[in-house]
């Protein structure tokens, strides 16, 4: 089962997550997602566990728990195709889409 973890402390590492989730069963992978340009954590991660029952127990017990001085949200990860494609918004081709996007 693929698990999504949000609200992580920016100092949390892959090893920290591996240690946390391995208390519930075997962990296939634990990956904190980082920014491509800066390499800094984006505050969320994915953990894979081969045993669905152990994974569900981890989700049930860790969702809303405090970890590394932050309250984390833990859920079953949705497949990519189930998520919104661009996060909404109405952006023009000149880029931006923010406060001054219509100033030419």
The DSSP bridge pattern shows strands 41-48 and 2-6 to be: antiparallel
Question: Residue 34 has what pLDDT?
Answer: 96
Q: Is residue 23 part of a domain?
A: yes
Residue 79 has what pLDDT?
Answer: 83
Cβ atoms of 62 and 75 closer than 8 Å: no
Phi and psi (nearest 5°) for 25? 155, -170
Within a domain: residue 36? yes
Q: What integer pLDDT is reported at residue 85 of this predicted model? A: 60
* Residue 91 located in a structural domain: no
Boundaries of domain holding 68: 2-79
- As separate numbers, helices (DSSP H) first and strands (DSSP E) second, the chain gives 2, 6
> Structure pTM?
0.75
Which residue would you say has higher pLDDT here, 78 or 99? 78
* Number of domains comprising the chain: 1
Instruction: Report yes or no on 94 lying in a domain.
Output: no
Tens of pLDDT, residues 14-50: 999 999 999 999 999 999 999 999 999 999 999 999 9
What's residue 83's pLDDT? Answer: 55
What's the DSSP call for residue 32?
E
Report the CATH number at residue 7.
Answer: 3.30.70.330
28 within some domain: yes
The answer as to whether 54 is a domain residue is yes
pLDDT digits (tens, 9 = 90+) for 72-83: 999 999 887 765
């Amino acid at each position: 089962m693929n698990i999504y973890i949000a609200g992580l402390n920016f100092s949390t590492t892959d090893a920290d997550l591996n240690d946390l989730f391995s208390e519930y069963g075997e962990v296939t992978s634990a990956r904190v997602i980082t920014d491509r340009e800066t390499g800094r954590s984006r505050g969320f991660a994915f953990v894979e566990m081969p045993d669905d029952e152990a994974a569900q127990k981890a989700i049930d017990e860790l969702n809303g728990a405090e970890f590394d001085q932050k309250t984390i949200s833990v859920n079953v990860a949705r497949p990519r195709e189930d998520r919104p494609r661009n996060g909404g918004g109405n952006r023009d081709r000149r880029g931006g889409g923010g406060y001054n996007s219509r100033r030419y």
